Amino acid sequence: MSQTQVQETEKPQFYLKEEHHPEHSTMLGFWLYLMSDCLIFAVLFATHGVVGRNYAAGPAPADLFDLNLIAINTAMLLFSSITYGFAMLQMERNAKMETLFWLGVTGVFGAIFLTLELYEFYHLIHEGAGPTRSAFLSSFFTLVGTHGLHVTFGIIWLITLMVQVSKHGLNPENRRRLMCLSMFWHFLDVIWIGVFSFVYLLGVLG
């Protein structure tokens, strides 16, 4: 061995191996997305707070909203959050089939929620209370419709993850994706509680 090679092997190596943590960057990125979504809904809530009583001589919330139907719809979304929690518990146990079962139940509750919301929209439009009738109805359809679009996206995401889990099991990537969807789904639950309280209850009882 030459003297140059000996010197190179004896050189202390001061560099550190770079460690990659994709799960950390993914979760951070998703938290940033949720915060941006919070800003969107904050603007929609604020808009409804400003124009929510501009009925343009048209129907008011007490004339339009069926609180019994809305309560059932709210229960569907709350139940879906509970069942998603059960799915996450089964994921921690590495129980693939049980996880898929509770994810499926969550999807069913979400689909019922969307069906009832679409029924409400159809009923309002059929009664002549469409989004162009007044500023109140424009803000209502925009806020509730935006939430409904998020739930629709969540269900599509849920189905996609169920396919991925059924094919590849509960590997680290699927676990991370399920965690992100869990945050998204519970976020929608919190937003809907705000919609139910601020738009429906205050609108009818306020």
Q: Which residues does 123 contact at the CB level (< 8 Å), separation at least 6?
A: none
Domains of the chain, residue spans: 30-45+64-205
- Cα–Cα distance measured from residue 5 to residue 194, given in angstroms and rounded to the nearest whole number: 70
Q: Where are the alpha helices (DSSP H) in the chain?
A: 3-10, 22-51, 61-64, 67-92, 96-126, 135-168, 172-195, 202-205
- Cα–Cα distance measured from residue 94 to residue 3, given in angstroms and rounded to the nearest whole number: 56
Residue by residue, DSSP assigns 106-120 as HHHHHHHHHHHHHHH
Q: What fold characterizes domain 30-45+64-205?
A: Four Helix Bundle (Hemerythrin (Met), subunit A) (1.20.120)
Residue whose token pair is 């969540």: 154
pLDDT band at 15 (very low <50, low <70, confident <90, very high): very low
- Cα–Cα distance measured from residue 101 to residue 86, given in angstroms and rounded to the nearest whole number: 10
State mean pLDDT over 9-30. 57
pLDDT at 166 over 90: yes
What pTM does this model have? 0.86
